[in-house]
Amino acid sequence: MTMLDHGGLGLAFQRSLRLHEEKTAIEFGRSSISYGTLAAWSAAIGSSLRAQGVRPGDKVALLIGNRPEFVACDIAVATIGAVKLPVNTLLPTHTISHIIEDSGARALVVDPRLEEVAIEAVGDRRILLYGFGKGPGAGADPFIRLVLPADGGDSPVADVAKVEAGSPAALFYTGGTTGRPKGVVHSQRSLLSFHTAQLLEAEIRQHERLLLATPLAHAAGLFAQSAILRGATIVLHDGFDVERTAAALRDNGITWTFLVPTMIYRLLDAVGSDGAKGGFPALDTIVYGAAPIAQSRLQRALEVFGPVFIQLYGQTECPNWGTRLAKTDHDPARPERLTSCGQASFMVDVKIVYENGETLPPGEVGEVCLKGPYTLTEYHRNPEATAEKFLGDWIRTGDVGLLDAAGYLYLKDRRADMIISGGMNVYSSEVEDVLNAHPQVRSAAVIGIPHDDWGEAVHAIVVGDGRLTAHELMEWSRNRLAGYARPKSVEFVDALPETPFGKIDKKRLREKYWKGSDRGIN
């Protein structure tokens, strides 16, 4: 039986667990877990799920933070042929409740710290609740308890379920910054193709020590899967702490990590003017993405860390690798390339289309479309959204951009973030790039706010150094932006709100300006 025939992701996991039995799979705090222990642990979890009636195709929700339990459950779910449903622990309870209801999850496995949240989110729904460790000393325990590696006992051998290549393997929910989260279905074939591409594009090798500090329920969980499939070692942090991360990169032999731009900014601020590549001797690769990065900050990061950066561009519907900006493309001698998100990834095609679906030539701005073997199968129970997403074999990303003659993609904006001021299209990301280049700006977001004459006015929300003034920032933009694109007002804040996925939450920024309006444009 081959992985592409009937074994799917579960068979691929079991193969790697067997091949690397004595190697360290996960380091978490002061503990380490070998591939052999991970195999036994995940097999025991799978047996417990099966014993309660969880079958291939059933959805198993994982409400677990960055802990080894997440990885063990991930392997267990794949091995029994169930559908993985990761739930970000940073989401509000009502959103978790919506995901559980909308997905029709058969079981929910819960982080020890989140059992009360889980009970509130589940309400009176009929669902299997799983927890870890020992339950309450008195009273009924609503959770079925799963064993930990140190608990001992028999170590069952995993029985890999037979699954078809087109059967669902995962159900991911979108970030929901523009509405309620939608369930994105990916098949066994999709995820196996994805990991083939990711191992190549992310340059994950067997000897890697991967530091993962972003939520495993998001992109980091896919990197963890790739690491296990490759036989690498995951160094897992329960959240991002700048000092702890800097120390790990410097002293813990970390060769590979994934960061979002805000994390890079904080590391650069922590390193200060004394930062130099020599401070991170083992570090070979920093993959970054999930949000745009300021060009000035990226140039500074290259000075500090060296030529180790790979940028990814994708979305839940085409995970991580729609395009890739390679290490060699991060060349300060070609600064224009630093504003690109790279060329089409291995296995993926990219094109730009007009509103009617017509393909546009290089240099023309339109909607970015992607085609490849690891795009979504469908939106869960949402045929209307599925039909809107697809353009034949291609998917519409909702992003606005252009391709140059060499095939490099330059994003202009999310369609939802584009500002229409006086009939002119203003790409908020271009304005943000200009503002973020100011030496006294730490981060900036640009939104459109209602204006009686122009429809929308460009408004900047800025984290500065405490001395920067609105007048100075407007003067900075005067010769760098067209008149209609310059901020007409500036608001200083201590911090910009972020979504649970590390992106600036523009929906929250817009709320106070558009409150009472029935639409987000004027």
Last residue of a domain, one of 387, 414, 441: 414
User: What confidence score (pLDDT) does residue 497 get?
Assistant: 93
Count: domains in the chain: 3
Query: Residues 506, 177: contact at Cβ < 8 Å?
Result: yes
Report the alpha-carbon distance of residue 410 to residue 129 in Å, rounded: 45
User: What confidence score (pLDDT) does residue 109 get?
Assistant: 98
Q: Strand, coil or helix: what is 448? A: strand
User: What confidence score (pLDDT) does residue 522 get?
Assistant: 42
Residues 397, 425 share a domain:
no
Residues 452, 356 share a domain:
no
Query: Residues 310, 327: contact at Cβ < 8 Å?
Result: yes
Residue written as token pair 């379920």: 161
Residues 304, 378 share a domain:
yes
Residues 447, 305 share a domain:
no
> In degrees to the nearest 10, what's the CA dihedral of 169, 175, 181, 186?
-20
Residues 184, 295 share a domain:
no
Residues 483, 385 share a domain:
no
Last residue of a domain, one of 188, 220, 250: 188
φ, ψ (nearest 5 deg) of residue 416: -70, -20
DSSP E strands in 254-333: the ranges are 256-259, 285-288, 309-315, 318-325
User: What confidence score (pLDDT) does residue 1 get?
Assistant: 46
CATH number at residue 98: 3.40.50.980
User: What confidence score (pLDDT) does residue 518 get?
Assistant: 42
User: What confidence score (pLDDT) does residue 91 get?
Assistant: 86
Query: Residues 401, 395: contact at Cβ < 8 Å?
Result: no
Q: Residue 343: inside a domain, yes or no?
A: yes
Query: Residues 192, 215: contact at Cβ < 8 Å?
Result: no
Residue 133 DSSP symbol: S
Residues 396, 247 share a domain:
yes
Task: Tell me the pTM.
Answer: 0.86
b or e along 47-82 (b: 16 or more beta carbons within 10 Å of the residue's beta carbon)?
bbbbeeebebebbbbbbbbbbbbbbbbbbbbbbbbb
Q: Residue 219: inside a domain, yes or no?
A: no
**CB atoms near residue 117 (< 10 Å):** 18
User: What confidence score (pLDDT) does residue 521 get?
Assistant: 42
Residues 177, 283 share a domain:
no
Residues 456, 386 share a domain:
no
Residues 445, 404 share a domain:
no
Q: Which of 107, 101, 104 is nearest to 131 (CA)?
A: 107
Amino acid symbol at 347? M
Distances (CA, A) of 14 to 164, 215, 439: 17, 24, 50
Residues 127, 67 share a domain:
yes
Report the alpha-carbon distance of residue 217 to residue 67 in Å, rounded: 11
Q: Which residues constitute the domain of residue 486?
A: 420-514
User: What confidence score (pLDDT) does residue 339 get?
Assistant: 87
Q: Average pLDDT of each block of 10 consecutive residues along the chain (522 residues)?
A: 69 97 97 96 95 97 97 98 95 90 98 95 96 77 84 68 96 72 96 98 98 94 98 97 95 96 87 68 92 77 94 95 97 89 96 95 96 98 96 94 96 81 80 93 94 85 96 92 90 91 85 68 42
Q: Residue 425: inside a domain, yes or no?
A: yes
Q: Residue 452: inside a domain, yes or no?
A: yes
H helix intervals, 479-520: 506-514
